Amino acid sequence: MKKSSIVCLAILILGMCSKAVVAQENSILDKKQMLSQVKGIMHNMENYDDLVKTSMQLLDVNSDGFVSDREVSNSIEGLNLTGNFNEAQKEQRHKDIMAFFVQADKTVDKKLSVDEFIAFWKNVEDWTIKNRFREMDRNGDGIYDEKDIPSREESLANLEKMKQRLENAVNQLQQTSPQEFVDNMMKNMMTAQIDEDFYQMDKNADNCVTRDEYADYNLNLPDNNDEEFSLTRNEYLEIYDYIEKKRPNCLTKEEYKADMEKPIDLEMSDIDDELDIDDDTGESPVSDVNDEMLENAFWQHIEQNYRDMDKNPDGCVSKDEFADYNLEMNENMPLLREDYLKIYNLIEKKVSDCLTVDEYKDYLK
């Protein structure tokens, strides 16, 4: 699963706290000074606004433009950064962050808009800095000074623990192939999206989504504003009716998950059978499908994608061009630049930093 943006914030603040200590004369710092200095350093970063925006996009797993209480709650698990928090401390951290959510949720709809998320983010910033100060203030006198600096032996012991954790992480990564890494990441992203989709659809939390709940939710997603891919209410109702259910107007989470995880088969004859298309008229109760038109339109779209990636154009897409294009086109996807670079490296190419259109199409096949 992608790293929680709250975790990324905590890691960033750990570094900022160290910078604040170095900047302070005589290395004497109280909590108020650290709060002021760290926030000053962070807010003066050139990409600070992008950091907040990206954090919201990472948390917004279903890309509906809001961050729900469930999305925040699911992201908090990664806050056990040092591995030393006990269960009571983890529970307290969870309560603290969810209290900030409730405070920021002015509309009391259990989800944060952009403005509400910014208010929430600032509270989490302050909370993280204050927690870090408490950890650094080892004697608890409210001031970080030479008395709080670990001895040489303690520092060496801490470095050894850190080294061991890094070695364990590297060993774990080495046991996973690049393809397995991407597959696991995509599977976890899909699981998180399904969980959030169903949570938002099932308004009364009875594990039973009706036709109207399903259609209302999907019609209000930002992606449905795209004229090229938007669907009507009746089309969403048809999709709902098509999903296998034990009861006619009750879609359970398990049934929704099973439908979302179905493999997509591009064999047109199978699609015809699945949609019950009439052999004589070519009509379907769900939609009209034309084999040749659909396939041609798909590959024309892929070739246009390639041309858009190939900026120069020289018939050779570099890894930077590939990553830049996908980051721009998929800004609501919780993938980072390094994720797209890993995907690029997975594609078979004759030249290491040159992806041709045929190689791109072969990969997609």
DSSP string, 265-300: P--HHHHHHHTT--TTT---SS----HHHHHHHHHH
At residue 289, the pLDDT reads: 42
For 290, counting Cβ atoms within 10 Å of its Cβ (0-12 exposed, 13-18 middle, 19+ buried), the class is exposed
Domain end point (choices 223, 241, 262) = 262
Would you say residue 269 lies in a domain?
no
CA distance 49 to 29: 27
At residue 51, the pLDDT reads: 77
Would you say residue 297 lies in a domain?
yes
Would you say residue 160 lies in a domain?
no
Place of tokens 């669907």: 231
Is 228:221 a contact under the CB 8 Å cutoff? Answer: no
At residue 275, the pLDDT reads: 46
Sign of the torsion formed by the C-alpha atoms of 279, 280, 284 and 285: negative
16 and 145 inside one domain? yes
Q: What's the domain count of the chain? A: 3
CA 293 to chain CA centroid, nearest Å: 34
Write the CATH number for 308: 1.10.238.10
Angle between helices 31-43 and 114-136 (to 10 degrees): 140
* The two three-digit tokens of residue 353, written as one number: 């930093």
34 and 108 inside one domain? yes
228 and 95 inside one domain? no
257 and 297 inside one domain? no
DSSP code, position 208:
-
Would you say residue 175 lies in a domain?
no
At residue 81, the pLDDT reads: 41
| Beta strand pairing call for 67-68 and 29-30 | unpaired
309 and 349 inside one domain? yes
- This prediction has a pTM of 0.56
257 and 309 inside one domain? no
258 and 322 inside one domain? no
At residue 38, the pLDDT reads: 67
9 and 106 inside one domain? yes
At residue 249, the pLDDT reads: 94
Kindly give the confidence (pLDDT) of every residue in the chain, 365 residues in length, as a single tens digit, with 9 standing for 90 and above. Answer: 344 444 445 544 444 454 444 444 445 566 677 667 666 666 666 667 777 888 888 888 888 889 999 988 888 765 444 445 678 888 888 899 999 999 999 999 999 999 999 899 888 888 888 887 887 888 888 887 878 777 878 877 877 887 787 777 777 767 777 777 777 777 888 888 899 999 999 988 999 999 999 999 999 888 767 776 678 899 999 999 999 899 989 999 999 999 988 765 444 444 445 445 455 555 544 444 445 555 666 777 788 888 888 888 888 999 988 888 887 776 555 567 887 888 888 887 888 889 998 888 888 77
CA distance 364 to 299: 10
**Single-letter amino acid, residue 338:** E
Domain end point (choices 125, 149, 173) = 149
At residue 197, the pLDDT reads: 93
Would you say residue 267 lies in a domain?
no
Helices in 137-232 by DSSP H: which ranges?
152-174, 178-201, 211-219
CA distance 248 to 307: 46
Would you say residue 178 lies in a domain?
no
136 and 234 inside one domain? no
> Please, which residues have CB within 8 angstroms of residue 258's CB and are 6 or more apart in sequence?
244
At residue 126, the pLDDT reads: 85
Is 289:268 a contact under the CB 8 Å cutoff? Answer: yes
Would you say residue 70 lies in a domain?
yes
- Say how many CA atoms lie within 13 Å of 192 toward its Cβ: 26
At residue 213, the pLDDT reads: 94
316 and 251 inside one domain? no
347 and 216 inside one domain? no
Domain end point (choices 95, 123, 149) = 149
Q: What share of the chain is helix, strand, coil (3-state, %, to 5)?
A: 65, 5, 30
Would you say residue 341 lies in a domain?
yes
Is 262:268 a contact under the CB 8 Å cutoff? Answer: no
At residue 279, the pLDDT reads: 55
CA distance 224 to 231: 7
At residue 152, the pLDDT reads: 79
63 and 199 inside one domain? no
Domain residue limits at 322: 292-364
